[in-house]
Structure 1
Amino acid sequence: MKQTAKQIIRLSMVFAVALIASATLGVQSASAATKTIKELKIYFVPSKQPDQIVTATKPLKGLLKAQLKKQGYNVKNVDIKVGTSYEAAGEALTSGTADVGFIPGGTYVMYEDGVQVLLTATRAGLNKDFTSAAKWNDGKATEPTQKQAATYRSLFIAGPSAKGQELAKKINSGKKLTWEDLNSAKWGLSSTTSSAGYIYPSLWLNKNYKKTVTDLSNTVQVDSYGSGMARLASGQIDILPVYADARRDFADAWTKDYKQSKSIWDETNVIGVSQPIYNDTISVSKKSKIMTKDFKSALSKSFIKLAKTKEGKKVIAIYSHEGYVKAKSSNYDGERAAQKVLKESTK
């Protein structure tokens, strides 16, 4: 009996030591699993007014940190900046001074030597998706649908100026615009890496007239769609290429801020429609020291999950984003084709 008791005591001691060792190892493993990132730098492009973007995205800091923590990353600080231009955001990513960028496909493709695409945004689909410009011009608002879409179109909007109305009348009567018609108008163009505001309009002009935006005689650069819409309303420009739901986004500003007496749907018309464009991207810098394979995976999962929360939806609504899906570089081959056309036109 004594020998058996000793054996029991020994076994108990061994078991107790094993439990303590296991518990200690568990604490060490949990600690090791949480990796610390001192700072995550995010850049946004100025497709909306910069102050609006800064205000709307402020909650993103806490929301993203919380999601990344669930993925095993403790991010101490999230720094958010709005680039002065699309190119500024692309250059920041290429140089590694930015880690993450909310950038259009055109900006991604132009800077893809230093930038990797992670996610494509999804947006609410629209109740209008016509290749014919005239079909958009029924005087009714373009409304969102419940269906999510990973692509959109660039629309060339003619404003209330005399020339804008002249071109719209011709389109709505079933006639085709000539190159002379288009070249006689004053165009407002976005940054050279803007998909809807520059790149796809060039592809459309090349397909239909063997021209690009660089061939247009009268153009001005607009620093944001907001300032472009203001110029269109005032008659400073006749045509403004924009993303397909831009008029919906600026419908209130059209009458309140731009002081127009009629609605944006009454005073503007579509005179051209691009091919489908893949939505904006969340891309990362190839030179960023924190962008390991594991962290990129954690970042992708975090943004996808964040976009499904009520708070997250409010943040990403500034860009009309409603969700995110994993991106493929090949999705943006249309951007590459368009940029090839642009390069050839400048030779």
Structure 2
Amino acid sequence: MKAKKLFATSMVAFAAAALLIGCGSKESKTKESDSGSKALDELNVMFVPSKNPDDIVAATKPLSGLLQEELKKEGVEVKNVKISVGTDFQAVGEALSSGSADVGYGVPGGTYAVYKDETEVILTATRAGLNKDSDKAKDWNDGKPTEKLTDKVAKSYRSLLIAGPSAKGQELAKKVNAGEDLTWDDLNGANWGLAAPTSSAGYIYPSLWLNDNVKHNITELKSTVQNDSYGSGFARLASGQIDVLPVYADARSDFADAWTKEYGKKDIWTETNVIGVTVPIYNDAILVSKKSDKMDDKVKEALQNALINMAKTDEGKKVIAVYSHSGYEKATDSDYDTEVKAQELMKSQTKK
């Protein structure tokens, strides 16, 4: 009896101790949650190569420290922010899809549309508006620079089909500036330099333009080359290797110096002409990977606030200037529904 009594007493004591330990553990988790703090060993941020990769690397070098500082204010401490640049747009999408990248920076809507099941939109970029925004190609060909307006912010932009200084490029430009419509034979007879198939400005919207204007799509062009960046595209345009280059609307402003100093030409505004203008495209997005176990609601909200606030600082403005971003606004997947529809149209065109 004494043994049974002793055993029962021990079990009661054990149960009481276990209950106290359980309560203590639960209380500790609550305190951790209430503190609002979160620690991450590393955050992998990958930029798309919509500008020269070397320029992006140089410009975004301060981002690690700036983002760490702003995230800390939001209750998320990151030991290391790793910055990299994808080899092309698809590489960034693949990295986000696999979870090897946590954040995709400056991602075009077209790339998001391809990888929408594995990614989530958290921000969209704002840019300075431009002094030109006409649907008519020849209105862009006054020989004067396309300038950014400091008092105008835009959430969308255009893709322009730029004809270069080659004989074929000048032939197309002459026809457009005379008020004549280009035919499929005109366009199909040119050498085109294209971005990756997920690029909105460099591929998708130009294909929609072709579909709307000459009832053909970009995959039907007989002579194309894929550029790994807009910089390499402009280099090919300047040398005459290609006749037509689809780019974002203020690309010539960004490459005006390189046009003369690196590519050996005289003046980008008189040696190139716009031969096509697409419908407006929603600005670049900042995406997070659904495959990343770091991306809970707290971290996503912290990232949104941190990048919005960073973009308001003098140091942050210098970093995001490489993409011509002026700031960021919170966004959701539904903001890019038009991009998804455009991608679906691209798929239907490819099957024809």
Q: 1:248 to 1:295 in 2, by over 3 A?
A: same
Partner of 1:118: 122
Cα distance in 2 for partners of 1:53, 1:35 equals: 29
**Structure 1: gaps of 5 or more residues:** 1-24
Q: Which one of the candidate residues 247, 254, 259 is aligned to 1:254?
A: 259
1:69-119 C-alpha deviation (Å, 9 max, x unpaired):
000111000001111111110010011110000111111111000000110
Report the CA distance between 1:238 and its aligned residue.
Answer: 0.2
Report the CA distance between 1:153 and its aligned residue.
Answer: 0.3
Partner of 2:85: 82
Partner of 1:18: none
Query: Which amino acid counterpart does residue 343 of structure 2 have in structure 1?
Result: Q
Match status 1:303 vs 2:326:
no
Contact 1:156 1:242 in 2 (8 A): yes
> What is the SS of the residue equivalent to 1:214?
helix
> What is the SS of the residue equivalent to 1:346?
helix
Partner of 1:185: 190
Q: Which one of the candidate residues 94, 102, 108 is aligned to 1:104?
A: 108
Partner of 1:15: none
Report the CA distance between 1:300 and its aligned residue.
Answer: 0.2
Cα distance in 2 for partners of 1:333, 1:162 equals: 40
Report the CA distance between 1:337 and its aligned residue.
Answer: 2.3
Query: Which amino acid counterpart does residue 155 of structure 1 have in structure 2?
Result: L
Partner of 2:349: 345
Cα distance in 2 for partners of 1:271, 1:325 equals: 32
Query: Which amino acid counterpart does residue 46 of structure 1 have in structure 2?
Result: P
**Structure 2: gaps of 5 or more residues:** 1-27
Matches within 5 A, 1:58-207: 58-102=61-105, 103-146=107-150, 147-207=152-212
- State TM-score, norm by structure 1: 0.90
Match status 1:269 vs 2:273:
yes
Report the CA distance between 1:30 and its aligned residue.
Answer: 10
Cα distance in 1 for partners of 2:338, 2:161 equals: 18
Partner of 2:220: 215
- Larger mean Cα displacement after TM superposition, 251-260 or 331-340: 331-340
Cα distance in 2 for partners of 1:224, 1:44 equals: 12
Contact 1:155 1:274 in 2 (8 A): yes
What is the aligned length? 320
Matches within 5 A, 1:319-338: 319-338=323-342
Contact 2:120 2:332 in 1 (8 A): no
Partner of 1:230: 235
Cα distance in 2 for partners of 1:202, 1:224 equals: 18
